[in-house]
Each structure stands twice: as C-alpha cells, then as structure tokens.
Amino acid sequence: MEIHSTAVVSPKAELAEDVKIEAFSVIGPRVTIGSGTVVGPHAVIDGWTIIGERNQIFPFATVGYPPQDLSYRGEETQLVIGNDNIIRENATINRGTQRGGGATRIGNQNLVMAYAHIAHDCTIGNRVILANATTLGGHVRIDDCAILGGLVAIHQFIRIGAYSFIGGKSGLRMDMPPYMLAFGAPAKLYGPNLVGLRRHGFPRTTIQALKNSYRIMFRSGLTVVEAIESIRQEVEDVPEVENLIQFMLGRSKRGVTR
C-alpha cells in the first residue's frame, strides 16, 4: 500500500494492499477500496462507499458525500462503484437516499469526465461516457455504452437506453430510447446513433432494422401500440429491435423523447 505522508486516511478504512493514495487526499472511516485503485491528489472519498478494483480517481474529485436532497437525515446509504472506472478532476458522486433505494451504483469501465455530477440514487451500467460538466439529477438510470456530451443536463427519474448518444449542451427531460441520437434543449431525436452503432460493430442488417424501426416508431404518426405492431410485421427480427420495443413498453415516469 502506498499512502502519501500528507494524505489523511482513517484507520477504519478498508484498503487493498496495492491501493495508492496520493498527496492531500482524504479517505473516510467507512470507505472500502479494491486492488489496483489509485486515488489522486486532493480527492475526497467518504461515507459508506465501496470502490472496486483498478479505478482511477483524479485530483479534487468528491466521491461518496451525502446526497443533495432535503429528505436526507444522515442515514446509512451507499455508493457502490465497480471496476476499471475513470473519475476525472472535480467530478462529484453522491450516495443514495433511503426513499430512493439506498444506493447510487456505477458499473464497470465507465469514464466520468471533469466536473461531471452523478446525483443520489443514480444507476449507471458499463462503458458509459459522461463528458465534461454532464449533470445527472437524482434517480437517473443509464444503460450500457450510452454517451452523454459535454454540458448535458438530465432531469430526475430519467432512463437513458443502451448505445444512445446525447449531443453536447442538451437538456433531457424525458426518457432516451436505446440506439438513438438526440440533441437540443429540450432534446429531440434525430435518428439512430449510426456512428456509435458502427463503432461498436453492429452489422448493417441490424442498423438498417433500427433505422426502419425509428421511422415507424417516431415519425409515422402511429400510436406506440400501432407502431410496435407495424414494426413486428415489417422490420427484420433482431434483438436490438426487440430491446427498443421493450423500452417503449416500459413504464416511463416522464414520457419518451421523440
């Protein structure tokens, strides 16, 4: 274990043997940090926080502090972070609230860029990118491989589907369908996330099926039920199209971006 002489690490914190804590960082008594994780200078990690292996936490990040929610009264709520995540300078990640499920959860291989904020009770999957100054309200769910551009603001209780892309300086106030691209304040759909789908190696047949599904679901004027029936009759049956259909059938608290 390598702990800089100026770092303040509680003797009650549980750190793996090869964790590195750099200068002037503060680690609270209820923190657990897994093997290979590096905590950069001036970072603060506190609260009931569990951090997995091989994470990189950059200077001035604040991880595991209480939620910015007036209902919070010091309850034992958690922040759980997986493996191989990168948390850049001045990012802030809050713990959960009791009424929101008790935990903020972040999966594996995510990139949280500088000044990004992840609020209480958010759930983030794997290989998600939050660009600089992205702000998540409470209770946001982001599925795998979604990308949020710089200065994006996400309303509370929003779900963002897998492999979607939200352009910079956008404001999202309704759920974001998977595999799609949106931009604006408020954000609007502009079709499938073609560049992202190609970069992730989706075959042409799948991309074409998603393009056809987008046209029917969001641009035909049909109701959701009518659009799903049409898609199942007209569009090639691929798992991604079924995922889109199930997303549209799910219970949305704020509606779906179109």
How many angstroms separate the CA atoms of 231 and 237, rounded?
9
**Residue by residue, what is the 3-state secondary structure of the chain?**
CEECCCCEECCCCEECCCCEECCCCEECCCCEECCCCEECCCCEECCEEEECCCCEECCCCEEEECCCCCCCCCCCCEEEECCCCEECCCCEEECCCHHHCCEEEECCCCEECCCCEECCCCEECCCCEECCCCEECCCCEECCCCEECCCCEECCCCEECCCCEECCCCEECCEECCCEEEEECCEEEEEECHHHHHHCCCCHHHHHHHHHHHHHHHHCCCCHHHHHHHHHHHCCCCHHHHHHHHHHHCCCCCCECC
Q: Which residues are catalytic?
A: 120-121, 138
Does the N-terminal peptide bond of residue 192 adopt cis geometry, omega within 30 degrees of 0? Answer: no
Place of tokens 């309704």: 174
Which residues 6+ apart lie within 8 Å of 26 measured at CB? 7, 8, 9, 43, 44, 45, 46
